[in-house]
Structure 1
Amino acid sequence: MTDIRLRRSVLYMPGSNPRALEKAKTLPADALILDLEDAVSMEEKDLAREQVCAAVKSGGYGHRELIIRVNAPQTPWGEKDLRKAIEAKPDAILMPKVSSPAVLESIADHLEALDAPESIAIWAMIETPAAILNIKDIAKARRDRRTRLTCFVLGTNDLAKDTWAQLVKGRVPMLPWMMFTLAAARAEGLTILDGVWNDIGDPEGCREECRQARDLGFDGKTLIHPNQIEPANTSFAPTEEEVRRARLVIEAFEKEENAKRAAIKVEGRMYERQHLGMATRAVVWSEAIAARDAESRG
């Protein structure tokens, strides 16, 4: 099985809440964003930084990918956040307000100056109108290995605030920006995560939005409450029917009589060679999820 990193459910946890940081060790999220920015008041910034970095250093989070979201470098806390986060050695550092490639170039300079371990990746929040307008160039920053860019995270709340777009059901005002950002991410081989669902009392609404994001092509969704994990995990997984059909397509193309054929018919439906790649991805994805589930049970 191809080694892939599942990021179906990526849960924000407030760094100022020690009980939340401890509880996160038991939650079935694929990844955790330990937050020093929006979820933390100005009075608790220093406390959150110490608690988050200590939690990452102490471990105990199992398979869960650990990401520290720092404050922007130009804020009073940004420089120290970045330095302490590097010392803690999370899987990634999430940078807010990445509105141009220059931001990533500056962070790369900081990483080099602080001798950051190569294992630490950089994730970028895409949450400003300027970021949408510059998204192709921001994505291209991945070509410079110094930036360590691996993932885009949509900040839909900030986009709504800055553009006056309404966060309505179906997200029609957001769809052009979402797809433009997704296309830029895919062009450069980046993971891309959808923004949050704000109504924690409506997990079914979250499920519907997760399914929309999955249909649009996103890898997963950022979350703000544990009751959103299950909707995300199930929505960003291929269904049993999708996996069954994918296996049939793979088996059909592997037959000797189909070795040179560009298109074949399976169960009355035509499939071209490009569908073989899509089928393979569905099977690999389902196997990765099964392995994760087995690991969690074991």
Structure 2
Amino acid sequence: MINLQLNPALLFTPGNKPTTFSKAEETGANGIIVDLEDSVSTKDKQISRDNAVRYLSKSSDIVNILRINHLTTNDGLKDILAVTEKKLYLDAVLYPKTESPNDIYQLSQLLSQTYDEIALIALIETAQGTVNLHNIVRDSPAQLQALMFGAADYASALNCDGSIQALLLARMKIVESSAMKNLTCYDSPYFDFNDNHGLMNELKTVKSLGFNGKAAIHPKQINQIKSAFKPTLEQYVQAKEIVETYNKASGEACQYKGKMIDKPVYQKSMQVISNFENLR
């Protein structure tokens, strides 16, 4: 099963624009999300489904993720049928409006008829979804590997604006719930792809909260996302020095440049080292 924590930058591509699929591989994105849901109109659902199957019938050097429609809709059922009739080069399925462990269980059961190992990403974008977050993470099958925040739908459901302040609590709940089982957690896309300053500010906030990555809607956002989630060389060197100091102290609390080092600081430094060496 794909390790999503090593893939922080995911690019959404509408299913009705197949030329963007292969181009996504050239952007440096860690993964492509072929979208069959919100970005596709009803009249284009079938052609988008056909495009996705055609693209996923060939291997690629990028993580392939498919956002399907909800299984309570006819299009959702058609999506599942399309991807289970034969095994595709599909690493993960992004499931919209996840609101309970049963959503993930049903999806897992359907996909397991064709796929031995496939990751599931629960898209949390409703009030019911955030209320049930702990249950979703605790009671879903092992195929659930990540959560993703859907800011636009969530803000609409709550009749609030999409500012970082208004949606802070929902983001914190997603990070907290992800930590229960060490799931990857992705932030929602930043929708103004011409606002680099706004994207950077949002990246700083969600990184500080504990998110592992962020989705993008435009190729020009990819490099900023990847840079935000990979530690700097300075942070990497400091983390290595902290680990070395702690190890020399045989695991006892000690000091590094006037700051106390204990087990949590050591563990955080190990994460920084791992992220610097392994993030793609």
The alpha-carbon deviation at position 15 of structure 1 amounts to: 1.1
Q: 1:74-85 alignment to 2 at 5 Å?
A: 74-85=72-83
2:260 alignment partner in structure 1: 270
For 1:120 and 1:137, locate their aligned partners in 2 and report how far apart those are by CA, in whole Å.
21
1:95 alignment partner in structure 2: 95
Q: Deviations over 1:214-273 (max 9, x none)?
A: 111000001100111011010111122211110101111222xx1151x11111211112
Q: Deviations over 1:85-134 (max 9, x none)?
A: 2332400111111111121222233234xx12122121111000000111
1:41 alignment partner in structure 2: 41
For 2:251 and 2:237, locate their aligned partners in 1 and report how far apart those are by CA, in whole Å.
23
SS in 2 for 1:12: strand
**How many positions carry a matched residue from both structures?**
276
> 4+ residue stretches of structure 1 with deviation over 4 A?
none
Unmatched tracts of structure 1, length 5 or more: 293-298
Distance 1:47 1:4, change over 3 A: closer
Determine whether 1:196 maps to 2:186: no
Determine whether 1:173 maps to 2:166: yes
For 1:121 and 1:209, locate their aligned partners in 2 and report how far apart those are by CA, in whole Å.
27
Q: 1:250-265 alignment to 2 at 5 Å?
A: 250-255=243-248, 258-261=249-252, 263-265=253-255
1:296 alignment partner in structure 2: none
Q: 1:168-247 alignment to 2 at 5 Å?
A: 168=163, 171-247=164-240
Unmatched tracts of structure 2, length 5 or more: none
**Is contact 1:9–1:232 with CA below 8 Å preserved after alignment?**
yes
Q: Which amino acid aligns with 1:268?
A: G
Q: Which amino acid aligns with 1:41?
A: S
Q: Deviations over 1:198-218 (max 9, x none)?
A: 101112211221121111100
**Is contact 2:5–2:184 with CA below 8 Å preserved after alignment?**
no
TM-score (norm 2): 0.94
Determine whether 1:71 maps to 2:66: no
For 1:82 and 1:210, locate their aligned partners in 2 and report how far apart those are by CA, in whole Å.
33
Q: Which amino acid aligns with 2:274?
A: V
TM-score (norm 1): 0.89
**Is contact 1:4–1:288 with CA below 8 Å preserved after alignment?**
no
The alpha-carbon deviation at position 4 of structure 1 amounts to: 7.3
For 2:273 and 2:246, locate their aligned partners in 1 and report how far apart those are by CA, in whole Å.
15
For 2:204 and 2:117, locate their aligned partners in 1 and report how far apart those are by CA, in whole Å.
32
Q: Deviations over 1:141-165 (max 9, x none)?
A: 24x33xx111101001000000011
**Greater alpha carbon shift after TM alignment, 269-278 vs 126-135:** 269-278
For 1:239 and 1:25, locate their aligned partners in 2 and report how far apart those are by CA, in whole Å.
24
Q: Deviations over 1:175-196 (max 9, x none)?
A: 1111112111111221110011
SS in 2 for 1:33: strand
Q: Which amino acid aligns with 1:208?
A: N
For 1:244 and 1:189, locate their aligned partners in 2 and report how far apart those are by CA, in whole Å.
25
**Is contact 1:238–1:285 with CA below 8 Å preserved after alignment?**
yes
Higher relative contact order (CA 8 A, sep 6+): 2
The alpha-carbon deviation at position 82 of structure 1 amounts to: 1.3
Q: 1:156 aligns with which of 148, 151, 160?
A: 151
SS in 1 for 2:74: coil
**Is contact 2:186–2:211 with CA below 8 Å preserved after alignment?**
yes
The alpha-carbon deviation at position 70 of structure 1 amounts to: 0.5
Identity, % of aligned positions: 27
The Cα RMSD (Å) is 1.5
